[in-house]
Amino acid sequence: MASSRVGQAHRSATPGVAVVALGGNVLIRDAKHQAIPDQYATVQQLAPHLVDLVASGFRLVITHGNGPQAGFIMRRSELARHEVAPVPLDYVVGDTQGAMGYMFVKALGNEMNRRGLAAPTVAVITQTVVGANDAAFEHPTKPVGSFMDEATARHYSTTLGWSVAEDSGRGWRRTVASPLPIEVVEMATIASLTEQGVVVVAGGGGGIPVARDHDGQLHGVQAVIDKDLTSALIADGIGANLLVLCTGVERVAVDFGTPRQRWLDHLNVEEATALVDSGQLGEGSMKPKVQALVDFVRRRPGAAGVITTPDRLGGIANRSTGTWVTA
């Protein structure tokens, strides 16, 4: 199923436009390092690996998740509900885009300056359009925010109109829809900045979820969007030739956690599709990532996708890291 590691390591990835997707969890080292200064310290550690791509000649767009950060904001909102109005979910995503974008802009700017590189870095507040009639709104199953007891959850359901559900025996949580992204409003801006050599931070948290009404006006919706799907949408829209999805493991594996476990260096689209359909990959982890790469490569013949860890981004230039998906 997979090409040999040696065969891939000697082939280079032609510098072009790369979209690198980082998870929100990547900034949370452990339960004792969740504060904003701790998260920024982690971004500072990531910055050299991201700048390695710029130094290799790539024009770079960085996207990021926001699960823990959005959860912190919602928890603060819950605790302060007797003093200030709750923050709507679309504004929560906007808040995280601004704060996390600031972290990346500052850390990357400092690293660029240290190396004498001239590429400026900007964060773009990004809206992602979803279908107002997406079937996901009929079944809001994505847990968000903090755990609570059933009585509190029922109270919020009555007073705030929340959908709530019990979450794997750990308590009750608010649940929201996770509709498919269909358009990134700021796509042309992201593309223009990238063409000018600007490093762009965009699509945070999958984008601020919005829907268009019959007059074409945008309205925020209470939902969350998969950031890997939005990252693939951005990569396709700006003509990227590389989509990088960062995870906690450097490669995809088959028979994971068993004596037969085998790491994969390269998959073509047909092999990757078969792997997605095989049930080998985790539903909430590796499966959607591989599927996002398959969709991207199918839309852009000649492009490539790769799954690797953030600290191995520098190995992309000579393909010495990750699981690659190509046509």
25, 110, 241, 268: the active-site residue: 25
Q: Is there a catalytic annotation at residue 289?
A: yes
Q: Is there a catalytic annotation at residue 25?
A: yes
66, 71, 204, 227: the active-site residue: 227
Distance between CA atoms of residues 205 and 60, nearest Å: 18
Q: Output the six-digit token pair for 15.
A: 């510098």
Q: Output the six-digit token pair for 140.
A: 């809001």
**305 and 2 in contact (C-beta within 8 Å)?**
no
Instruction: Give burial (CB, 10 Å; 0-12/13-18/19+) of 123.
Output: buried
- CA-based nearest residue to 205, from 98, 42, 93: 93
**131 and 100 in contact (C-beta within 8 Å)?**
no
Q: Is there a catalytic annotation at residue 142?
A: yes
- CA-based nearest residue to 263, from 80, 3, 52, 67: 3
94, 142, 145, 315: the active-site residue: 142
24, 203, 204, 315: the active-site residue: 24
**240 and 17 in contact (C-beta within 8 Å)?**
yes
Distance between CA atoms of residues 318 and 316, nearest Å: 5
207, 289, 305, 315: the active-site residue: 289
Distance between CA atoms of residues 71 and 147, nearest Å: 10
How many other C-beta atoms can be found within 10 angstroms of the C-beta atom of residue 282?
11
Q: Which residues are catalytic?
A: 24-25, 142, 227, 289
